[in-house]
């Protein structure tokens, strides 16, 4: 094997030094700066993306808080509107019931007046009919003819005696 032959050691070391030197210089001056610049750009991009994400998260939280506040305000407004509408409907129902009660009371009073009038008319008719019956009974039993005026005077006299 020629690699293990001592006569070739110097030439092998020479080429080893040249190859490693070239490789070292190539990596040091060309490859590593490119890799380091790519890594630096990548790190900067990641940092910027993280900052943007934090800003967006902060904005999203602010928007979420604003939405929550608006929802609470809307719920309060809805609750207020429901209460006002309920009160208005209750007031309208109360007013309507009051009108109906007033109308019923008026009709009851009118009916009572009408009943009283009919009662008085009926009593008057009954008195007139009793007078006619009494006249007819007197005429049939005694053949006495009595006039309406005589009958009325007799009834008044009897009523006056009862009141005294």
Residue 152 and residue 158 in contact, taking contact as beta carbons nearer than 8 Å: no
Whether pLDDT at 75 is above 90: yes
- pLDDT per residue as tens digits for the range 5-35: 778 788 888 999 999 999 999 999 999 999 9
- pLDDT per residue as tens digits for the range 106-159: 999 999 999 999 999 998 888 888 888 888 888 888 877 778 788 778 878 887
Give the predicted TM-score (pTM) of the model.
0.45
Tell me how crowded residue 13 is: count the other CB atoms within 10 A of its CB: 10
- At residue 144, φ and ψ (nearest 5 deg) are -100, 135
């Amino acid at each position: 094997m020629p690699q293990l032959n001592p006569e070739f050691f110097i030439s092998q070391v020479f080429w080893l030094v040249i190859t490693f030197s070239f490789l070292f210089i190539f990596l040091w001056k060309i490859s590593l700066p490119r890799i380091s610049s790519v890594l630096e750009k990548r790190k900067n991009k990641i940092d910027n993306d993280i900052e943007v994400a934090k800003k967006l998260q902060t904005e999203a939280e602010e928007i979420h808080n604003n939405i929550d506040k608006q929802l609470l305000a809307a719920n309060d407004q809805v609750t207020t509107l429901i209460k006002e509408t309920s009160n208005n409907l209750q007031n309208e129902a109360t007013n309507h019931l009051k009108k109906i009660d007033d109308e019923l009371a008026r009709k009851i009073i009118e009916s009572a007046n009408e009943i009283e009038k009919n009662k008085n008319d009926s009593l008057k008719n009954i008195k007139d009919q009793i007078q006619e019956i009494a006249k007819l009974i007197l005429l049939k039993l005694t053949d006495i003819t009595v006039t309406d005026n005589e009958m009325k005077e007799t009834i008044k006299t009897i009523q006056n005696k009862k009141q005294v």
